[in-house]
Amino acid sequence: MPKHWASGGVDLHLELDPALGRRRAVEDALRAAVRDGRLPPGTRLPSTRALAAGLGLARGTVSAAYDQLAEEGYLTTRPGSGTEVADTFPPAPAPIRTPAAPALIRSPTPAAPAPVHSPIAVARPVHDLRPGQPDVSAFPARAWLRATRHVLATAPAEVFGPCDPRGRIELRTALAGYLGRTRGVRTTPDRIVVTTGLVQSLNLLADVLGAGPIAMEDPGHDFYREVLRRAGRTIVPLPVDEQGARTGDLTSGVAAAVLTPAHQYPTGVPLTSARRRLLREWGGPVIEDDYDGEFRYDRRPVGALQGTAPDQVVYCGTTSESLSPALRLGWMALPPALVGPVAEAKLHADAHTEVPGQLVLARLIDEHAYDRHVRAARLRYRRRRDLLLSRLGPGPAAPLPGARLPGVAAGLRALLLLPPDGPPESTLLAACEQRGIALRGLTPLRQTPGPGGLLIGYAAPSEGAYPAALEALVEALTWASTDGSILSAEIPDISGFPG
């Protein structure tokens, strides 16, 4: 059976320079990760077999790189205990510059706000294909219980008192190591603020960022647009094409740009290196929503934008898609200039995020139980995505001839772009609603008009329920595309609770 990135060992994000030889590229990437503190002393590295499989290299290449770095003193190798980062090289984060204010030039005319439907208090559908919902039946309850028991048995009494508004140091330390190792994020515990999720992160940032409109991807998440509007911010559309957000259009006096660079929501395309470079040249504050960056199925995940511009980018993540939206745990890795203002805003918003959950998550990360859960989820969701593509992809048996599934093999959902000569989005949504299928239409996610589409989540059903949900969807689409008698209807938007 061929090796896939999704089945690798402990996650480790490395950017290999293609201009170098394979062994030297591995050596340089590991050396840089140790020097800038993303791999702190004592970090256990993946086995040579696991890392070689993940990078698509020969095991001997990785073994030789490990041996060379061990001779240089970067790594220590103990028979039977694996390879670890040596204690002789303490973390030394690269110097960070204070972000420059964006130039105040012309401001585009804001698009008219689209209606946003509440995601709260919605009846459970028969077939749940809502995007952004993980398989909550696969929540690692036993690992969470073990970690909870350990935390409650060993935590000092002060844990149950007031908390630093930035969050517990245990979780901030664990996150700094994990994000550096798996997503290429360059940060330190003192620059991380723990929140209740992306909604609170956006509200806090809206409170501290400079005056001016905020650019958001078009199409993009309509709920988060409304979050910022309710916080008093004006939203301007940033068009998206096959290369991701058109960052070269950021020539206006906007206060910040909100992006999903690794896997654009909802089109599924990653932001190209050229577009990332244009973003850095623009120089304004960027809010990076890395909502599903851990879930890439065909290759190594694209590194976080923050890793290349830590003085410009606010990195935002949550457990909503990796574990459960019920936990209400999120985080921001901030440029130094924003740490104080955001921590003060957090203090006055809700004092701090609940503490026991922070300590439990820190425990799961430290003992690599979180890695194991994400790795198992990757395999499960990859199988589901493959099955979805086999049923909806191009071919004589396709229920919607001419429909396309753009984007990379990643995430918890797929976008089905509708053909111009096929049934409209509203007709397909009506057919799905009649069969108890919950999914989303693309139109509410647009700020400007464009082609219709269906956003299909393949993660929410349990393992046993997913095949039936997919077959029901295929039946609904087939019927709607061959029977013109169905009437288009105003369909209530059944969307998942956001992060």
User: Is 436's pLDDT higher than 60?
Assistant: yes
Identity at 336, one-letter amino acid code: P
pLDDT at 125: 87
Average pLDDT over residues 176-183: 96
pTM score of the predicted model: 0.83
Q: Please state, in angstroms and rounded to a whole number, the distance separating the CA atoms of residues 189 and 164.
A: 12
Q: Tell me: the pLDDT tens digits for 451-483?
A: 999 999 999 999 999 999 999 999 999 999 886
What average pLDDT does range 417-433 have in this prediction?
95
The fold of the 5-85 domain, in CATH, is: Arc Repressor Mutant, subunit A (1.10.10)
How far, in Å, CA of 34 to CA of 46, rounded?
Answer: 15
The answer for residues whose C-beta is within 8 angstroms of residue 464's C-beta and 6 or more apart is none
Equal fold, 5-85 vs 138-371: no
- What confidence score (pLDDT) does residue 499 get? 52
Q: 153: which DSSP letter?
A: H
Q: Please tell me the distance from the alpha carbon of residue 114 to that of residue 107, in angstroms, as a whole number.
A: 20
Q: For residue 169, what are its two tokens?
A: 């140091």
Dihedral sign computed on CA atoms, order 35, 38, 44, 45: negative
Task: Please state the rounded mean pLDDT for residues 334-355.
Answer: 97
pLDDT, residue 253, reads 87
Hey, is 455 helix, strand or coil? strand
Give the H or E element holding residue 392: helix 369-392
CA distance 295 to 317: 13
* pLDDT value of position 419: 93
Separation of alpha carbons 229 and 370, rounded Å: 34
Going from N- to C-terminal start, the domains of the chain cover 5-85, 138-371
What is the arithmetic mean of pLDDT over 301-325? 95
Report yes or no: 88 and 73 within 8 Å, Cβ to Cβ. yes
As a whole number of angstroms, the distance between CA 26 and CA 14 comes to 8
Nearest to 405 by CA among 156, 174, 396, 395: 395
pLDDT digits 0-9 by tens, 25-67: 999 999 988 888 888 888 889 988 989 888 889 999 999 899 8
Q: Is the pLDDT of residue 145 over 60?
A: yes
Burial class (CB in 10 A: 0-12, 13-18, 19+), 103: exposed
Q: By mean pLDDT, which of 79-88, 108-117, 168-177 is the weakest?
A: 108-117
Q: Whose CA is closest to 66, among 82, 42, 90, 87?
A: 82
Over residues 425-431, mean pLDDT:
95
For 277: left if phi > 0, alpha if psi spans -120 to 50, otherwise beta; the answer is alpha
| Res 11: pLDDT | 78
Question: What is the residue-averaged pLDDT of the chain?
Answer: 88
Least confident of 59-73, 248-262, 409-423: 59-73
Given a cut of 80, is residue 123 above it in pLDDT? no
| Of the candidates 355, 357, 331, the residue with the CA atom closest to the CA atom of residue 343 | 331
Q: Which two tokens stand for residue 403?
A: 């429909």
Residue 12 has pLDDT above 60, yes or no: yes
CATH class entry, domain 138-371: alpha beta
100 vs 166: which has the higher pLDDT:
166
* Phi-psi sector, 159: left (phi>0), alpha (psi -120 to 50), beta: alpha
Sign of torsion over alpha carbons 181, 184, 187, 189: negative
395: left (phi over 0), alpha (psi -120 to 50) or beta: left
